[in-house]
Amino acid sequence: MIYITLPVGSYHGWGVCGKYLVKELSLTTEVMLISEPIDPSSIGNESDYRLIKEKMMPDDEYQRIKTLSELNLEGPVLHAIISNTMKSTHPNIRGSRNVGYTFFEESIIPSPFIENGKRFFDIIVTGSTWCEEVLRDYGINNVATIIQGIDPAIFNSKSPVKEHFTDLFVIFSGGKFELRKGQDIVIKAFKHMQDKYPDVILVNSWFNHWNESLSTMKASQHIEFDIYSDDYTTLIKETLVRNGVNLQRAFILPPYPNVLMAEAYRNSDIGLFPNRCEGGTNLVLMEYMACGKPVIASFNTGHKDVLNKKNSILIEDMEQISIYDDNREIASWFEPSLDETIAKLEWAYKNRAILPKIGELAGQDMAKATWRKTAQDFYTILTS
């Protein structure tokens, strides 16, 4: 029996990761998910919900063990780690082997957190080589990298040709709206394209569950931003208008489960991901590329695990920047060049005939990075 304490769902990266690891690991071994109660709407479809529910610890038992100071289980445990704290979401649960799984962007790690990682886990698995290198620099050597996967039944390059917007050049931007994801650079670059070319439109999927990270966009030097409304669509519309974007040229997608996003990906020409930092490999980026679509993306942090000069159009001109929280430095990120981003968009617009070949190579590379492979890698580490 393998025990898993990851969150599960279909609307954010951690949840998608947890859902697929439960599904794929259960094909190899007995699995028990130790997590908060779920409902069909959070999982995305009825069949996945039934499978996940079947593997979950009963809720009354889960509520009971939350009150225990310590629970020792006869089997390995895959723990979700809270950001860069190196602390399990369920620190009272211990297994015969304890494997932590972490994605973090706050790269300056306090010493107590480092001690957590050394003391609590037999091994820590990071979602990117960049995270692994950060931990090794802090002296944590019981660490390895396993990148996320894609579901090839949904995200594949069998039908990469657009069915809609065929007479337009469609730029797609995804990921929760926050400074780290770089949508301020997207808005600024799109404004340039919008003013210059009449057939360019923007499709965005930027829903953010967390107001704290949403507020980080106030620090942008590229756009004007504030929390104008509690309603997501109203907020994004107001942000676009205040920064000169014509709403007739922008399509704001509501929050969809990731399994419904493939159609939006396939009906665009280029994905734009000028992210400042990624602790993982950027699941939206991977799923977009898996559909045989080309991307313009920043070549930094977790993106480096999946991007190369053949399968993508790289933004490589960037400077290292310090990130602060209440005057305390918490991270070192990378600021992609706006000028290079615009230049790469211009190139893509003028060289549309070349884009399908880049997308084809992207699809081929992502087809190798499935959740089944991710689960097999975890199984090896959990049972070794």
In order, the DSSP letters of 78-109 are EEEB-TTS--BSSTTEE-SSEEEEE-------
Nearest Cα neighbor of 332 from 324, 322, 341, 342 is: 322
Report yes or no on 162 lying in a domain: no
> Do residues 58 and 100 share a domain?
yes
pLDDT at 44: 78
Q: Which residues, listed in sequence order, are joined to residue 314 by a DSSP beta bridge?
A: 297
Q: Cα dihedral angle (253, 254, 260, 262), rounded to 10 degrees?
A: 20
> Do residues 179 and 290 share a domain?
yes
Cα(8)–Cα(49) distance, integer angstroms: 10
pLDDT in tens, 16-67: 999 999 999 999 999 999 998 888 888 878 889 999 999 999 999 999 999 9
> Do residues 134 and 178 share a domain?
no
Report yes or no on 159 lying in a domain: no
- Beta-carbon contacts of 309 under 8 Å, excluding residues fewer than 6 positions away, are none
Distance of CA 145 to the CA centre of its chain: 15
Report yes or no on 155 lying in a domain: no
Judge contact between 226 and 218, C-beta under 8 A: yes
pLDDT at 10: 84
CATH for 142: 3.40.50
pLDDT at 190: 98
Listed as ranges, residues in the chain with pLDDT below 70 are none
pLDDT at 332: 97
pLDDT at 12: 82
pLDDT at 342: 98
pLDDT in tens, 238-274: 999 999 999 999 999 999 888 889 999 999 999 999 9
Report yes or no on 332 lying in a domain: yes
> Do residues 253 and 123 share a domain?
no
> Do residues 292 and 345 share a domain?
yes
> Do residues 214 and 347 share a domain?
yes
> Do residues 247 and 344 share a domain?
yes
Report yes or no on 156 lying in a domain: no
pTM of the full structure: 0.96
CATH for 193: 3.40.50.2000
Cα(105)–Cα(273) distance, integer angstroms: 16
Report yes or no on 136 lying in a domain: yes
The residue assigned the tokens 């979401």 is: 89
> Do residues 331 and 377 share a domain?
no
Domains identified in the chain, total number:
2
Q: What domain range includes position 264?
A: 169-367
Which parts of the chain fold into alpha helices (H)? 13-25, 40-43, 46-55, 59-65, 111-120, 129-137, 183-196, 211-214, 232-242, 262-266, 283-290, 338-350, 355-367, 371-383
Cα(294)–Cα(270) distance, integer angstroms: 5
pLDDT at 41: 84
> Do residues 196 and 343 share a domain?
yes
> Do residues 104 and 221 share a domain?
no
pLDDT at 103: 96
> Do residues 236 and 269 share a domain?
yes
> Do residues 125 and 269 share a domain?
no
